Amino acid sequence: MLRCSDNSLYTGWTTNLQRRLIDHNAGRGGRYTRSRRPVQLVFYENQNNRSAAMQREAAIKKWSRARKLALIATGLENSC
């Protein structure tokens, strides 16, 4: 999960976290983050496969902002 410069949160999935973060900050990431740079990685989870990652992303995107912030606050082992 990324925190954008306007303090909004962006959730996505990738097979290469460092490359994807660089892409987002270079304006080559998602359209949403392009105008909200710089972005900062605030939370991540490892998943067993792409399908699981995509399902988790879809679930988190449906959550309220408050629930996402709670995940960030309580998931310290995966926060950055």
Ordered by start, the domain boundaries in the chain are 2-78
What per-residue confidence (pLDDT) applies to 29? 87
- Region of 11 (left: φ > 0; alpha: ψ -120 to 50; beta: rest) is beta
CB 32 within 8 A of CB 3: no
pTM: 0.90
Phi-psi region of 14 (alpha: psi -120 to 50; beta: other; left: phi over 0): beta
Residue 76 DSSP class: G
Please report the pLDDT score of residue 75 as a whole number.
Answer: 74
Instruction: Per-residue pLDDT tens, the chain, 80 aa: give them.
Output: 999 999 999 999 999 999 999 999 999 988 999 999 999 999 999 999 999 999 999 999 999 999 999 999 987 656 55
Is 17 in contact with 44 (CB distance < 8 Å)?
A: yes
